[in-house]
């Protein structure tokens, strides 16, 4: 394939990634980008070009040694659920944006320690990025079959590197606050993780099933090669120890590599995403290894005796069969693996470079005097230039130094260097006594041992003139031979360097920490890190600080970096959270910690502390004082928690009281309405009686017939008055529970017949047919007089509502196993469904207006309900399919 063609494909591919990143930044797509799968896949940034090509090289040349790089993380991942969660919590609470922030903050927010961590990370990662560029460059030349040009400016891969640097510096610096999430980049990385795995699978399947006849065939053909046996067993205790150390080194790397810290911690949106990652990520690593062995040994079989770089088997095999398309796909997969590593690493490195080295040591003074717009621009530019220069610098390192090394060796050197952070990093999580000095000296000494046992020999290997240094040690001192320090000669260089550097590092960390007391700030953060669960919602209270500070001074500093609006908003949140008066002049420890946190994302923890310290006057506190204050604040937290509990309890009770009150008010209103209606009902017959009496007394000429009629009216209205009073008293007795029922064994059919009897005349007058058919007797227990009262009421209603002609009332009794169901149906106009429930309330009037006259006394159904309920039955009303009303009540058997 021509260079131009491949460049075009690459540009197209980069444009596609740009698009993905751009798409992911949009708010509407948040559910696609903010989920556990994108998170888990972004962790696969671990699998770089080194994995993609280098594993095959190692498997082909030295057999099983490629495995520990994957076994280490797989062993570590189950512990994530505890450790990673803790790291994420600490980082979120303190706005940590890199591993340098994380470590330096714990050891008393130390500017120097942050710088040390940054330098160590750069030393570890720059060659690693160089390695990726090397992979891109070499494979580019293989695919295009153009030789590598020793003049850098004429070599096309130079321009690929520049394009990459531009892409990363553009997308990596979208936010001034480094602890913000970069959804675009992360989604693009997750996408690339899918692509590189898919392409690797495709070539794996191609080699295994198209070039060969399946796994068995590869094995059969490979197993006759010499050294096959040799390379594919662990073979004794010494290689086993080598193996073990390689596992441990990669176990550390999965926590400590800046790009892993960035994807796993800084870009974590939800703690629960870890739950998906702990199965998906190991599965991904496993899948990546499935075809390493067949490709490696397939390559060994195909290229037996030829001098080819085994790293590039996955490209060479398709090319051998003239499958250019497949070779290009493989190249794109490797390209993906490389650029995700390059982009994420350079972002995290440039954040450290700006926040932990450049700003606190050089730019801070300048930033202090400028306003927000200028400051943000400066910060972003520092990072932008940082990312660009880091990638270009790596490219130079590749061109000048690492041209000759294979992928894995450089990668492992990186791992060993970054492992120097392990003692202080894990110590930060679990050991209260770990001190700043211990951390600094541990890392520095460990780093120097690495230099001596790894970098120096490699560097001298390049210049290639001083081999006696390697073979005999400096000045011929055997004990200091770089690959066999203190006579330890059975470890290969990488585990060897790892063993000695980490041994010294850890011992110094412990020894110094125990021997020299740290200052109070270290102890303060130790408490906050280790007991993060206790402080995760109000960590500001755990910060110990004594002195004088003014809110207005702190506000001024904040405005310089956050701008007026964000500062006001943040301070408001703070005031609400801690119930602080808005006009509070003096700032307390909580506000100082809060302000430091706000600044941390922009300029790093150390600079944030320096800035805030410059506007406040801090008094020295002794260590015992810190411990006392911490204890008190702990008690305060407990008291606070109790107060909150009490106040919720109070709220609950208040709510209940309110409800009770509302019920009472409602009841009171009902009572008023009831009285209103009762008096109205009582006045009506009295009015009739009074009017008739007035006529009788005043009018002597009244005809006899009429006189009799008026007297008759007086009698019937008096009776009505009396019945009404009876009913009111009845209801009152039922409602207050004074009325008892007197259940005896009776026959329901007989009771119903008894009820109909006195109403016969009325029924006849209105021409109504009553249908009731039930021959056998139904014996059950109830108070017969009361049930007759209920039935009379229902029947009277039914008679009243029957149409004037062809009225029909149907009475039924149904057996419902546990109870009897008695229904009275008429064929009138039915009931408005909204009245079904309220119809049994006393004096209920439809429409809920008290100006419409109720029909009947308005008490009958209320009494029925009371009686039925005293029998432990139910009563309800419904409509009879548009053909009249139906009242039903039940009597338990």
Partner 1 sequence: MKKKILIVDDEPNIIMSLEYTFKKNNFEVFIARDGQEALDILESQIPNVIILDVMMPNVDGYATLEAVRKEEKLNNCKVIFLSAKNKESDIQKGMDLGANAYMTKPFSLKKLIDKVNDLL
CB of 850 to partner 1, least distance (A): 8
Among positions 34, 309, 492, 684, the unique one binding partner 1 when judged by CB under 8 A: 684
Question: How many other CB atoms are found less than 10 A from the CB of residue 759?
Answer: 18
CB of 717 to partner 1, least distance (A): 6
CB of 792 to partner 1, least distance (A): 22
Among positions 20, 343, 688, 763, the unique one binding partner 1 when judged by CB under 8 A: 688
**CB of 611 within 8 A of CB of 116?**
no
| Distances in whole angstroms, Cα of residue 289 to Cα of each of 299, 312, 436, 843 | 16, 16, 41, 83
The β-bridge relationship of strands 875-879 and 769-772 is: unpaired
Q: Cα angle vertex 451, ends 447, 452, to 5°? A: 120
The β-bridge relationship of strands 885-892 and 875-879 is: antiparallel
Single out the segment in contact with partner 1 by CB under 8 A; choices: 100-108, 293-301, 622-630, 676-684: 676-684
Q: Measured from the CB atom, is 671 or 740 closer to partner 1?
A: 671
Q: Does 643 bind partner 1 (CB under 8 A)?
A: no
> Coil, helix or strand for 435?
coil
Q: Does 817 bind partner 1 (CB under 8 A)?
A: no
**Residue 517 and residue 513: Cα distance in Å, rounded?**
7
Question: How many other CB atoms are found less than 10 A from the CB of residue 452?
Answer: 17
Among positions 683, 708, 779, 800, the unique one binding partner 1 when judged by CB under 8 A: 683
The values of phi and psi at residue 117, to 5°, are -60, -40
Closest Cα to residue 727, out of 777, 669, 677, 776?
677
Single out the segment in contact with partner 1 by CB under 8 A; choices: 24-32, 117-125, 132-140, 694-702: 694-702
Q: Measured from the CB atom, is 374 or 686 closer to partner 1?
A: 686
CB of 683 to partner 1, least distance (A): 4
Q: Does 852 bind partner 1 (CB under 8 A)?
A: yes
The position carrying tokens 């199965």 is 279
CB of 834 to partner 1, least distance (A): 17
The structure tokens listed for 79 are 């512990």
**Residue 61 and residue 63: Cα distance in Å, rounded?**
6
Contacts with partner 1 by CB under 8 A: the residue count is: 28
**Residue 583 and residue 574: Cα distance in Å, rounded?**
13
Q: Measured from the CB atom, is 234 or 711 closer to partner 1?
A: 711
Single out the segment in contact with partner 1 by CB under 8 A; choices: 177-185, 208-216, 289-297, 684-692: 684-692
Among positions 371, 625, 694, 719, the unique one binding partner 1 when judged by CB under 8 A: 694
Q: Measured from the CB atom, is 761 or 849 closer to partner 1?
A: 849
Closest Cα to residue 87, out of 369, 430, 415?
430
Q: Measured from the CB atom, is 845 or 866 closer to partner 1?
A: 845
Single out the segment in contact with partner 1 by CB under 8 A; choices: 41-49, 436-444, 564-572, 679-687: 679-687
CB of 866 to partner 1, least distance (A): 25
Q: Measured from the CB atom, is 265 or 689 closer to partner 1?
A: 689
Q: Measured from the CB atom, is 223 or 832 closer to partner 1?
A: 832
Single out the segment in contact with partner 1 by CB under 8 A; choices: 23-31, 176-184, 467-475, 683-691: 683-691
**CB of 291 within 8 A of CB of 53?**
no
Task: Show contacts with partner 1 in window 706-745 (CB under 8 A).
Answer: 706, 709-710, 713, 716-717
CB of 843 to partner 1, least distance (A): 11
Residues in the chain: 893
CB of 697 to partner 1, least distance (A): 10
Q: Does 635 bind partner 1 (CB under 8 A)?
A: no
Q: Does 849 bind partner 1 (CB under 8 A)?
A: yes
DSSP state, 360? I
- Quickly list DSSP for 775-835: -S--EEEE-HHHHHHHHHHHHHHHHHHS-SSS-EEEEEEEE-SSEEEEEEE--SS---GGG
**CB of 25 within 8 A of CB of 187?**
no
- The residue ranges that bind partner 1 (CB under 8 A) are 676, 679-680, 683-684, 686-692, 694-695, 698-699, 706, 709-710, 713, 716-717, 849-853, 855
């Amino acid at each position: 394939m021509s260079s131009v063609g491949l460049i075009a494909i690459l540009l197209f591919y980069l444009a596609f990634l740009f698009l993905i990143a751009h798409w992911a930044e949009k708010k509407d797509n948040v559910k696609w980008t903010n989920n556990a799968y994108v998170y888990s896949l972004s962790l696969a940034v671990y699998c770089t070009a080194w994995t993609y090509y280098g594993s095959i090289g190692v498997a082909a040349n030295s057999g099983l040694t490629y495995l520990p790089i994957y076994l280490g993380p797989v062993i570590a991942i189950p512990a994530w659920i505890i450790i990673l969660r803790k790291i994420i919590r600490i980082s979120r609470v303190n706005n940590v944006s890199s591993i340098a922030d994380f470590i330096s903050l714990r050891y008393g927010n130390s500017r120097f320690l942050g710088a040390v961590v940054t330098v160590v990370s750069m030393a570890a990662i720059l060659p690693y990025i160089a390695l990726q560029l090397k992979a891109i460059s070499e494979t580019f030349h293989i695919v295009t079959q153009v030789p590598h040009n020793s003049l850098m400016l004429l070599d096309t891969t130079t321009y690929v590197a520049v394009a990459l640097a531009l892409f990363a510096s553009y997308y990596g610096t979208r936010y001034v606050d480094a602890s913000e999430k970069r959804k675009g980049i992360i989604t693009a990385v997750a996408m690339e993780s899918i692509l590189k795995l898919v392409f690797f699978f495709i070539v794996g399947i191609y080699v295994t099933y198209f070039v060969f006849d399946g796994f068995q065939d590869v094995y059969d053909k490979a197993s006759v090669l010499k050294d096959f046996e040799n390379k594919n067993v662990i073979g004794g205790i010494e290689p086993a120890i080598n193996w073990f150390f390689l596992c441990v080194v990669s176990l550390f790397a999965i926590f400590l590599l800046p790009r892993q810290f960035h994807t796993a911690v800084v870009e974590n949106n939800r703690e629960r995403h870890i739950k998906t990652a702990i199965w998906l990520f190991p599965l991904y690593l496993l899948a990546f290894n499935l075809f390493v062995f067949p490709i490696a040994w397939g390559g060994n079989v195909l290229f037996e005796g030829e001098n080819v770089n085994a790293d590039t088997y996955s490209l060479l095999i398709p090319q051998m069969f003239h499958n250019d398309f497949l070779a290009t796909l493989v190249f794109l997969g490797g390209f993906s693996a490389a650029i995700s590593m390059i982009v994420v690493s350079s972002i995290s490195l440039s954040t450290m470079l700006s926040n932990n080295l450049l700003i606190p040591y050089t730019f801070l003074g300048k930033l202090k005097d400028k306003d927000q717009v200028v400051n943000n621009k400066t910060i972003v530019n520092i990072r932008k230039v940082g990312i660009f220069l880091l990638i270009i610098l790596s490219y130079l390192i590749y061109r000048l130094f690492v041209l000759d090394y294979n992928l894995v060796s450089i990668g492992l050197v990186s791992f060993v260097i970054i492992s120097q952070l392990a003692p202080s990093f894990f110590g930060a999580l679990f050991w209260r006594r770990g001190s700043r000095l211990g951390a600094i000296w541990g890392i520095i000494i460990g780093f120097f041992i690495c230099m001596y046992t790894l970098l120096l020999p490699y560097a001298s290997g390049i210049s290639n003139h001083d081999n006696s240094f390697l073979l005999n040690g400096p000045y011929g001192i055997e004990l200091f031979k770089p690959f066999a320090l203190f006579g330890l000669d059975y470890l290969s260089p990488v585990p060897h360097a790892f063993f000695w550097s980490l041994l010294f590092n850890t011992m110094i960390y412990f020894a110094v920490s125990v021997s020299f007391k740290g200052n109070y700030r270290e102890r303060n953060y130790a408490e906050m890190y280790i007991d993060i669960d206790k402080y995760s919602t109000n960590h500001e209270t755990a910060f110990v600080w004594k002195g004088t500070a003014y809110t207005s001074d702190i506000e001024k500093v904040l405005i310089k970096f956050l701008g007026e609006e964000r500062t006001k908003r943040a301070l408001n949140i703070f005031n609400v959270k801690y119930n602080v008066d808005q006009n509070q002049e003096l700032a307390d420890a909580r506000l100082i910690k809060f302000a430091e946190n706000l600044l941390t994302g922009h300029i790093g923890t150390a600079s944030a502390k320096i800035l805030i310290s410059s506007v406040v006057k801090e008094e020295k506190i002794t260590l015992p004082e810190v411990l006392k204050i911490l204890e008190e604040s702990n008690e305060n937290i407990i008291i606070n928690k109790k107060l909150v509990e009490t106040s919720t309890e109070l709220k609950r009770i208040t709510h209940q009281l309110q409800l009770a009150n509302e019920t009472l008010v409602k009841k009171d209103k009902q009572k008023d309405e009831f009285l209103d209606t009762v008096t109205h009902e009582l006045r009506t017959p009295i009015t009739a009686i009074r009017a008739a009496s007035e006529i009788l007394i005043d009018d002597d000429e009244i005809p006899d017939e009429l006189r009799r009629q008026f007297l008759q009216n007086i009698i019937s209205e008096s009776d009505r008055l009396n019945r009404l009073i009876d009913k009111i008293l009845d209801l009152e007795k039922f409602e207050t529970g004074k009325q008892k029922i007197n259940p005896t064994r009776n026959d329901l059919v007989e009771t119903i017949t008894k009820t109909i009897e006195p109403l016969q005349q009325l029924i006849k007058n209105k021409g109504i047919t009553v249908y009731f058919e039930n021959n056998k007797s139904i014996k059950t227990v109830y108070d017969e007089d009361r049930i007759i009262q209920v039935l009379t009421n229902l029947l009277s209603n039914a008679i009243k509502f029957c149409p004037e002609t062809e009225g029909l009332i149907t009475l039924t009794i149904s057996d419902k196993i546990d109870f009897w169901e008695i229904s009275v149906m008429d064929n009138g106009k039915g009931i408005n469904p909204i009245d079904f429930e309220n119809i049994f309330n006393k004096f209920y009037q439809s429409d809920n207006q008290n100006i419409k006259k109720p029909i009947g006394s308005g008490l009958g159904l209320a009494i029925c309900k009371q009686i039925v309920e005293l029998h432990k039955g139910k009563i309800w009303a419904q409509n009879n399919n548009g053909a009249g009303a139906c009242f039903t009540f039940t009597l338990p058997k």
